[in-house]
Amino acid sequence: MNITTEDVSISVGNDVMPAYIARPESNQSLPAVIVWMEIFGVNSHIQDVTERVAQEGYVACAPNFFHRVAPDLNLDYNEAGMNAGIEHMMKLTADNMIADQKATIAYLTGRGDVTDKIGAMGFCIGGHMTYLTACENDIAAAASFYGGGIAAPEGPGGAPSTISRTGKINCPILCLFGGLDAHIPVEHTSAVHTALKEHKRDGEVVIYDEADHGFFCDQRESFHADSAADAWTRTKNLFSENLR
């Protein structure tokens, strides 16, 4: 499928959030999928994922939700990139993250080429962002890849914990973790599973025993092809069943 891409600006109050858009070459109105980035920004990997989503028949949108501190963020997968990304991540607040979510959804619904079905997916801090999006917005489906800090005692910026918001989720949510991921302890993945079950949410937690953090990214040493392929199939099925 041929796709087109563009760089756009999304208004968030008095701020401007850059975003990368990919969509099929057609005049059809299509469902949309938000692709929330890792701490490395809307780099070549996130752009590639956004384009892969578009090739499945969606308007895909990857916003830079670090825009308040790093509007041109595009980091490499190395120690310097990791350190810079973590520094920016520590400045996030849940209120600003939610504002960025709502602005992105408003932008997509206002485009004219998007239906009323919007999904979200994301990686690392973007996986956390995806879970929070499902808690705080009316979306159709969510796929959170190795979302760190979801079960931490506090949310970003000292807000109430993100896991404490689980009862507000009203869409199917898929949470994908690596069993070797030292960044996300098993206590956290178990807590996510328990919270979804206790609140009777339509959620699934999948643990890939041989995968580490970042297993979906083919630019990282931790890339695990089998786990990535299975996660991609599950995500495509999730969106196909709930956004079409």
For position 100, which CATH number holds? 3.40.50.1820
**HSE on the CB side for 87, CA within 13 Å?**
10
- pLDDT tens, 24-63? 998 899 999 999 999 999 999 999 999 999 999 999 999 9
pLDDT of residue 191: 98
Annotated catalytic residue: which of 124, 135, 171, 217?
Answer: 124
CA 82 to chain centre: 18
> Which runs of E-coded beta strand occur in the chain?
3-12, 15-24, 30-36, 59-63, 114-123, 141-145, 173-178, 203-208
Q: What is the DSSP letter of 219?
A: T
What does pLDDT average to over the chain?
A: 97
Query: Is 217 noted as a catalytic residue in this protein?
Result: no
* Mean pLDDT calculated for residue range 208-233: 98
Is residue 181 flagged as an active site residue?
yes
Identify the pLDDT of residue 89: 97
Catalytic residue among 45, 67, 193, 213: 213
**Count helices and strands in the chain by DSSP H and E runs:** 6, 8
Dump pLDDT digits (tens) for 110-169: 999 999 999 999 999 999 999 999 999 999 999 999 999 999 999 999 999 999 999 999
Q: Is the pLDDT confidence value at 1 over 90?
A: no
Q: How confident is the model at residue 206 (pLDDT cuts 50, 70, 90)?
A: very high
CA distance 104 to 195: 27
- Alpha-carbon distance of 172 to 203, in angstroms, equals 6
Please state, in angstroms and rounded to a whole number, the distance separating the CA atoms of residues 71 and 154: 26
Taking each helix axis from N to C end, the angle separating 125-136 and 94-109, rounded to the nearest 10 degrees, works out to 70
What is the share, in percent, of the chain residues with pLDDT greater than 90? 98
Q: Which domain holds residue 232?
A: 3-243
Residue 14 — pLDDT band, cuts 50, 70, 90?
Answer: very high
Catalytic: which of 45, 88, 128, 181?
A: 181
User: Is 218 a residue of the active site?
Assistant: no
- pLDDT for 44 equals 97
Number of domains in the chain: 1
Kindly report the pTM of this predicted structure.
0.98
